[in-house]
Amino acid sequence: MITRLDPGARMSEAVIHGDTLYLAGQVGEPGEDVVAQTKTALAEIDALLARAGSDKSKILMAVIWLADIADFAAMNSVWDAWVDRANPPARATSEARLADPGYKVEIVITAAR
């Protein structure tokens, strides 16, 4: 069975298949700095995981895109305070051109229920 959270014409905010959750890329408000955008994205992730019956301790994989890799340390300052240190996920981070030039960070999560 497949369940979709907040489906739209182009995408869903999350898709649940069995006990695996696939979250769409989460971003902050365009124009804010990378710290603020990371906090917002992680809060959205927390909310989506909760709606799907999960939490950050069950994250399997995180993919993080930064508009500028020079923001790596600033983004990590927020990530490190948020991540479940007892259950850290696999993670990849790279620089990429994001959908809106005002976005500094986008985070994609795969998690278990």
Q: What is the pLDDT of residue 16?
A: 98
CATH of the domain at 49: 3.30.1330.40
Q: Which amino acid is at 79?
A: W
Angle at 74 between CA 51 and CA 84, to 5 degrees: 40
In the predicted model, what is the mean pLDDT of residues 54-59? 98
Q: What is the pLDDT of residue 55?
A: 98
- Please, which pLDDT band fits residue 27 given cuts at 50, 70 and 90? very high
Mean pLDDT of the chain: 98
Buried b (16+ CB within 10 A) or exposed e, 26-42: bbbeeebebbebbbbbb
Domain count, the chain: 1
In the predicted model, what is the mean pLDDT of residues 75-104? 98
For CA atoms 101, 91, 86, 77, the dihedral sign is negative
Which range of residues forms the domain containing residue 23? 2-112
In the predicted model, what is the mean pLDDT of residues 47-58? 98
